[in-house]
Each structure stands twice: as C-alpha cells, then as structure tokens.
C-alpha cells in the first residue's frame, strides 16, 4: 500500500502540472469510464448545442467524442511515461459536471503498480482501445463513423505524448508507434517534422480528421488542421513558434 501511495502522489503531482483540470479522486464508487450512460452523452451534446449553436452538428459530435475519451488517454500516457506505472483503468470512472463535461477522474481503490515503460504502455493501450470501443458502442449521436472516432483516439494519444515531451524529436515517433500499434491504430495519426523559428527540429501532430473548431465564433482552424495543405501547416507551425 505504501508503494501505491507513493505512486499516486507522484501521479497527482505530474497531472496537476500538466493537466490541472483533471483532478484525481480516490475511493469513489462510480461507473467505469467506458460505461458512460446515454443520459451523460445527451447532456454533453445538449451543453455543446447551447454553448456553440453556430458551430453545428459536426462540431458538437467531434467535440463531444473527444471530451469523453481524452482524460483516460492523457492520464494513461502521463502515468506510463512520467511515473512508470500502470493505472487500474477498469477501476476508473469519470466525474461529470452539471454541464455533462467530464472534469476529473474517480478511482474505486488506490492500488497502482510500477512497471517498465513499454509494458505499462502496451497493457494500458490495449485497455484503452477496448474501453474507447465500449464508449463508441454507447454513442447515441449520429454522424460519427468508427473510423473517425478512432482517428480522434489516435490524435489524443500522440497529443498527450507531445505534451509529456515538449520539444523532443528523437525517439518520439517510435513511442507513438508503440501506443498506436498496441491499439491497432497504425496510421490513424502521425507526426509532422518541421523547424521552428530558431531553425530547431520539432514535431507536431499530423491529424487525419478535423475537429471543426473553426465553426465556432471567433475561432480559426488549428495550426495542424488537415483541411490545410502540408505547406500551409508547416508555415503556420513556423510562425507560431517564432
């Protein structure tokens, strides 16, 4: 138990630094994160419809799907790469705010296991893809294909790696391939190599599907929007890093 307490403390420190909006709560009885109810899905979609009426259904479903799955994915990547630990994902639930947005995670117990990076990543990647497919089977919003849903999963994994290793280039593509191969999502997302304003090599996300955030008032396409040409994306990445 002392070992688990130490691992939990380290995980909480890392999560607080990287994604402070994802609070970790222990000893909470809650449905597993991959058993999300139709009520919570509908509440989330209704919040997005009311908050962003101008954006339309494409944005609501893309954003809603991403919000349902990002916390388990980011938490698993942080746990593996920052703490060399494997989370009991089957013991984890999500805390849904009144708006329907997941905002924090709930663990039934506080038993966490230390392990080698590759083993932790492999095991959690397998559990994540099973869980995400369970969530998709509960998805009651029309218009999102399983192919695009899985591309969003892959985007989340690689985005989490970019967050954990900012500025890193060497070996990051191999780490991304390790996760995606374990999830059966090879080629669903990737990295773009570019040079920042100082001429230093960098990696950015090579997305295969659009998040449609540009449909919201006051928003523009993200720097790596797949609706742009590669030349346009590279130019925007260089400008953003200048």
Q: What is the pTM of this model?
A: 0.95
Query: Where are the domains positioned within the chain?
Result: 2-241
CB 53 within 8 A of CB 125: no
d(CA 11, CA 173): 24
Cα angle 67-187-145, degrees, rounded to a multiple of 5: 45
Greatest Cα pair distance, the chain, in angstroms, is 53
Handedness of CA 44, 77, 149, 140 (dihedral sign): negative
Instruction: Express each pLDDT in 214-236 by its tens digit.
Output: 999 999 999 999 999 999 999 99
Q: E strands along 97-242, which residues? A: 102-107, 113-114, 190-195, 201-206
Instruction: Express each pLDDT in 57-98 by its tens digit.
Output: 999 999 999 999 999 999 999 999 999 999 999 999 999 988
């Amino acid at each position: 138990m002392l070992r688990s307490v130490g691992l939990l403390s380290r995980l909480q420190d890392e999560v607080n630094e990287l994604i402070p909006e994802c609070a970790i709560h222990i000893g909470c009885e809650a449905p597993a994160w991959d058993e999300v109810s139709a009520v919570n899905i509908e509440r989330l979609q209704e919040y997005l419809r009311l908050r962003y009426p101008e954006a339309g259904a494409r944005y609501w479903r893309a954003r809603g799907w991403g919000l349902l799955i990002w916390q388990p994915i980011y938490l698993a990547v942080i746990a593996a790469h920052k703490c060399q630990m494997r989370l009991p994902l089957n013991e984890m639930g999500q805390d849904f705010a009144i708006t329907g947005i997941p905002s924090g995670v709930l663990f039934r117990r506080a038993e966490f296991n230390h392990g080698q990076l590759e083993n932790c990543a492999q095991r959690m990647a397998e559990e994540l893809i099973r869980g995400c497919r369970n969530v998709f089977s509960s998805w009651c919003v029309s218009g999102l294909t399983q192919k695009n849903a899985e591309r969003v999963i892959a985007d989340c994994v690689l985005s989490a790696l970019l967050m954990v290793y900012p500025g890193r280039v060497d070996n990051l593509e191999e780490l991304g391939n390790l996760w995606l191969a374990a999830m059966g999502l090879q080629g669903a997302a990737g990295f773009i190599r570019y040079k920042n304003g100082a001429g230093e090599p960098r990696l950015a996300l090579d997305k295969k599907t659009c998040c449609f955030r540009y449909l919201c008032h006051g928003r523009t396409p993200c720097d790596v929007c797949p609706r742009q040409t590669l030349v346009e994306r590279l130019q925007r990445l260089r400008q953003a890093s200048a």
